[in-house]
Chains A and B, each alone.
Chain A
Amino acid sequence: MSAHLLRRISRNHRALSKIPQRWSSSISQRPGSDRVRFPGAVNSKFTTDMAFVNPSTMDNIPTYRVMDSDGVLLDKNRKPSGVSNEEILTWYKNMLTVSVMDVIMFEAQRQGRLSFYMVSAGEEGISVGSAAALTPDDVVFAQYRETGVFQQRGFTLKDFMSQLFANCHDSGRGRNMPVHYGSNYPRMHTISSPLATQIPQASGAAYALKLEALQNPDTPPRIVTCYFGEGAASEGDFHAGLNIAATRSCPVVFICRNNGYAISTPTLEQYRGDGIASRGVGYGIETIRVDGNDIFAVYEAMREARRIALSDGGKPVLIEAMSYRVSHHSTSDDSFAYRARVEVEDWKRRDNPIIRLRKWLESEGLWDEDKERNMREQLRKEVLKEFGEAEREKKPPLREAFEGVYEELTEEAQEQMKELKRILETYPEEYDLREFKDGINGL
Chain B
Amino acid sequence: MASLRLPRLIRPSGRRLYSAAASPSSRLNLPIDYKSTPLLHHTSSTIAESLGLPGSSTSKSMNLYQAINSALRTALTKSEKVMLFGEDVAFGGVFRCSMDLQTEFGSERVFNTPLTEQGIVGFAIGAAAQGMKPVAEIQFADYVFPAFDQIVNEAAKFRYREGATGVNVGGMVVRMPCGAVGHGALYHSQSPESLFAHIPGVQVVVPRSPSQAKGLLLASIFEHNNPVIFMEPKCLYRAAVEHVPSEYYTIPLSKAEILKPGKDVTLVSYGQPLYLCSAAIAAAEKALGVSVELIDLRTIYPWDRQTVLDSVKKTGRAIVVHESMVNYGVGAEVAATIQDQAFLRLEAPVKRVAGWSTHTGLQYEKFILPDVARIYDAIKQSVEY
Contacts and interface: CB of A to CB of B under 8 A. Distances in A.
A175 B157 CA distance: 10
Contacts of A296: none
Those 9 A-B pairs whose CB atoms lie nearest each other, nearest first: A200-B122, A204-B126, A240-B119, A201-B126, A204-B123, A208-B130, A205-B126, A173-B163, A204-B127
Contact of A207 (B116, B127, B149, B166): B127
Contacts of B108: 211, 214
A189 interface: yes
Contacts, number: 182
A180 B91 contact: no
Interface residues of B, number: 61
Interface residues of A, number: 59
B119 A244 contact: yes
Nearest to B337: A412
B107 A184 contact: no
Contacts of A241: 119, 122
Contacts of A8: 91
A176 B161 CA distance: 6
Interface of B: 80, 83, 90-92, 99-100, 102-103, 106-109, 111-114, 116, 118-132, 134, 146, 149-150, 153-154, 157, 159-168, 170, 200-201, 203, 224-226, 254, 302, 305-306
B80 to A, nearest CB: 5
Contacts of A253: none
A16 B91 contact: yes
A182 B162 contact: yes
Nearest to A180: B161
9 contacts: A19-B112, A171-B162, A184-B167, A192-B153, A202-B126, A204-B126, A207-B126, A240-B114, A248-B123
A12 B92 contact: yes
B130 A406 contact: no
A152 interface: no
Interface string A397-416: 00010001111001110000
B130 A190 contact: no
Contacts of A141: 126
A212 B132 CA distance: 9
Contact of B165 (A184, A199, A201): A184
A205 B129 contact: yes
Given A194-B149, A236-B146, A247-B113, A173 B126 contact: no
Contact of B122 (A184, A203, A410): A203
B302 A197 contact: no
B161 A175 contact: yes
A180 B162 CA distance: 10
